[in-house]
Structure 1
Amino acid sequence: MPRRIKDDERLRRLEAVTDATLSRLDVSDLLDELLDRVRDLLHVDTAAILLMDDHSGYLVATAAKGLEEEVRAGFRVAVGRGFAGRIAAVRTAVRLVDVRPGDVVNPILTAKGIRSLLGVPILAGGDLVGVLHVGSLSRREFGDDDVRLLELVADRAAAAGRIRSAKLDQSAALALQRSLLPARLPSVPGVDLAARYVPGHATGIGGDWYDVFVLPSGWLGVVIGDVSGHGLASAVVMGRIRSALRAYALICDDPARALTLLDRKVQHFEAGSLTTALYAMISPGRDRAVISTAGHLRPVLAEPDGAAGLAEVPVDPPLGVLPHGSRQRRSATVALAPGALLLCYTDGLVERRGEVIDIGLDRLVATVRADTPEGVCATVMSDAADALPSDDVAVLAVRRHG
């Protein structure tokens, strides 16, 4: 091929995959369009993108042309297995002039009669995002220019793949969190309730939660907790812990016993996650609260005469920290006078960078009054917003009727 024609072809290929209009497409349309263009430019029969699922550790077929059934079948492969897995393992281009049965594990490639394959890793900042490969039904020797073009397409797909993964994780976590945080607090005889939740992370998702439920005995269960971290993983752990605590609350008449069972569950199923929780049971007469806290900050108790302070409650270790049976969890009974208010919160409300937490706790105690729960929540959250907290903040206020 004359040099001028070859240079023109390279320019056409470059323009096809760097076209600015591609950036205006959403992620799924962009991947489809890239595969259409690469099939046309390389004169191949199939093109496919498999993205890495960080949660399962598998490459998952996400977009395909000529191999659409691969996506519909939900094909996935482990790193190191098959053609795509081999590319992911070596993180460099792989060419197969003659595909042999042992080279691929995807039965769809074999059924299609693919003779030759070329694949490249999709990388972003040194991290593996996925794999892009093309195939030909006739024998084909892919050249260096073909590799360079495919690597250019992979670079374009890398950003789209990361955006897609982030959006999927965020959507899943938001849906999970919305289903777990009460959309509306229950109407409970004898008390008024109010709550707030504000994420402090860019994803809008965290591991803080609160819960309120009436037990068959007439006691009122009040819970607030904090799973370390942000994103889908923390939201999933939070959901499991919340559900487990609800189950234990039905069979335990002591908050410390319920948290002991929850501790065993966290140690066995959620090992490695740092979780704090406070569980309070408010009596049917609403005149007292039995409280146990697992590493969680003590609630603020505001009396109707204006006095406020941290409730006299022992703070036991967080969930999952100590070996089972090494230490007995404790509960304490706190009297609730008519009109008294109990404020539960997560550490994001009082922690500030470069400041010891005691200062934040003193500031909170000085702010809280036995006012309406809505008014108290609005006041303390306003103070937190002024200090620009970087952590999630959950607040739950309970006031006994006067």
Structure 2
Amino acid sequence: MRQRVLEAVTDPAVAQLDLGEQLDVLLHRVRELFAVDTATVLLLDPAGEQLQASAAAGIEEEVFQGVRVPVGSGFAGRVAASRQPVVIEHVDATTVLNPLLWERGLRVLLGVPMEASGHVVGVLHIGSTESRRYTDAEIDALQLVADRLALAANAYRSRSERAAATLLQTSLLPARLPSVPGWELAARYVPGAEVGVGGDWYDVFQLPGNRLGLVIGDVVGHGLTAAVVMGRLRSALRAYALEFPDPADVLCKLDRKASHFEDNTMATVAYAVIDTATSRMQVALAGHPPPIIAVPGHPTVFADGAVGPPVGQWLALDDRHAGSFELPRGAVVTLFTDGLIERRDVTIDERLEQLRSSVQSAPPEAVCARVMATMVGTSAATDDIALLAARHVP
């Protein structure tokens, strides 16, 4: 049995198929090898809370009908929660959540966990309409199949999530920065070499009353989940920016939204509003490093203002404040995320000073180029980086 299973799961031709085809081929082989009536794979959802039927041979309706089983509940849920093989010899509503299994007359079920990289990926189970006992050798053999399927599913999910996160991030970053008389803009975004696309974003938008909004933020976490949350926060901030002129009020509303709707989410945000008629800028900070301001004839400085807590987790409620700064002609304001300053072998203070000294009064494209050359250089950043520069034209 073990040798035949090994040959089935290590078939090079199967390895070349996409995940859906691999599952389909191997489940049909499992039915033959184990002489069972059904074989089903349920994959864990991204939240890690439910198993969803993703492939089946014998009772394909499980997939067609989108069967879901909470982790810890029912037969498959017990397998995922315990990370141990489970055999049940009495299939009905008291032991199995999915009615399709007992309605089709199954009498015995064997389920094994699918694990990869130390995490549960899903559950593989087989069932028979005849009474039988599964031997230890059969259980071990089915676990071999589950391990192979787990590796394929984990690799496919990782590739898919990276591609989806990259596409989402690209779609949400401004395709073109607005053209504002008297002001120049430039920006950069670079995914982290180790973590790929994350929750960093920048945004620039024009507001009523000759105002210009500048945003830079960083959602805690990486990958598709962080990118999705980033997209929702970006949209919400834009909406609040139209309703509330004070950046501090906007971040208060964003904090309330994130705390209520984005469970276990936290993000740092810097939001600045420039009145292009008066050249005055208001900045509110939610756990984010302050912008850097370079004015011709003056030392380059970090904007001096109160830094409130990040948004999310009900950390701030309505207690936020904005600082106000003059941006005379020639002044440059630069916003950034912490991926630009974090390095394992250098302290944050040293990196911040290095960044401050690299920002000068110059066209924004030149500012961004100099900052990236100084702070990134020839070594790829481990975390993703967002950088935004605005200049009051001399």
Q: Secondary structure at the match of 1:34?
A: helix
Q: Note closer, same or farther for the CA distance 1:118–1:272 as it changes in structure 2 (3 Å cut).
A: closer
Who is 1:324 aligned against?
317
Preserved CA contact (<8 Å) 1:88 1:130: yes
Who is 1:39 aligned against?
31
Who is 1:336 aligned against?
327
Distance 2:90 2:278 in 1: 78
> Does the alignment pair 1:379 with 2:375?
no
| Alignment equivalent of 2:251, drawn from 233, 244, 259 | 259
Q: Secondary structure at the match of 2:290?
A: coil
- Cα-to-partner distance string for 1:154-211 (whole Å, 9 max, x where unaligned): 1111211222332343334333322322122222222111111112253422111111
Who is 2:22 aligned against?
30
Who is 2:4 aligned against?
12
Q: Secondary structure at the match of 1:163?
A: helix
Residue type of the alignment partner of 1:89: A
Residue type of the alignment partner of 2:335: C
Residue type of the alignment partner of 2:320: R
Residue type of the alignment partner of 2:68: R
Please list, as runs of the form range in 1=range in 2, the aligned pairs for 1:229-378 lying within 5 A after superposition: 229-270=221-262, 272-285=264-277, 287-305=279-297, 307-320=299-312, 322-325=315-318, 328-378=319-369
| Alignment equivalent of 2:53, drawn from 51, 58, 61 | 61
| Alignment equivalent of 2:159, drawn from 147, 167, 174 | 167
Number of paired residues? 392
Q: Secondary structure at the match of 2:376?
A: helix
Who is 1:137 aligned against?
129
Residue type of the alignment partner of 1:143: T
Q: Note closer, same or farther for the CA distance 1:256–1:111 as it changes in structure 2 (3 Å cut).
A: same
Larger Rg, first or second structure (1 or 2): 1
Please list, as runs of the form range in 1=range in 2, the aligned pairs for 1:108-147 lying within 5 A after superposition: 108-147=100-139
Q: Secondary structure at the match of 2:311?
A: coil
Preserved CA contact (<8 Å) 1:118 1:134: yes
Preserved CA contact (<8 Å) 2:334 2:389: yes
Who is 1:3 aligned against?
none
Who is 2:179 aligned against?
187
Preserved CA contact (<8 Å) 1:286 1:400: no
Give the Å deviation of 1:59: 0.9
Distance 1:133 1:125 in 2: 21
Distance 1:149 1:396 in 2: 56
Who is 2:98 aligned against?
106
Distance 2:236 2:309 in 1: 19
TM-score by length of 2: 0.90
Please list, as runs of the form range in 1=range in 2, the aligned pairs for 1:142-153 lying within 5 A after superposition: 142-153=134-145
- Cα-to-partner distance string for 1:314-344 (whole Å, 9 max, x where unaligned): 333333474535xx42222222222321111
Please list, as runs of the form range in 1=range in 2, the aligned pairs for 1:215-234 lying within 5 A after superposition: 215-234=207-226
Distance 1:11 1:323 in 2: 61
Distance 2:220 2:193 in 1: 12
Q: Secondary structure at the match of 1:183?
A: coil
Distance 2:60 2:385 in 1: 45
Give the Å deviation of 1:286: 6.0
Identity fraction in percent: 50
Residue type of the alignment partner of 1:380: V
Preserved CA contact (<8 Å) 1:190 1:286: no
- Cα-to-partner distance string for 1:50-106 (whole Å, 9 max, x where unaligned): 111241501111111122221121111012333222322343323344534433221
Measured on the aligned residues, the alpha-carbon RMSD in Å equals 2.4
Give the Å deviation of 1:223: 0.8
Distance 1:104 1:272 in 2: 31
Preserved CA contact (<8 Å) 1:301 1:311: yes
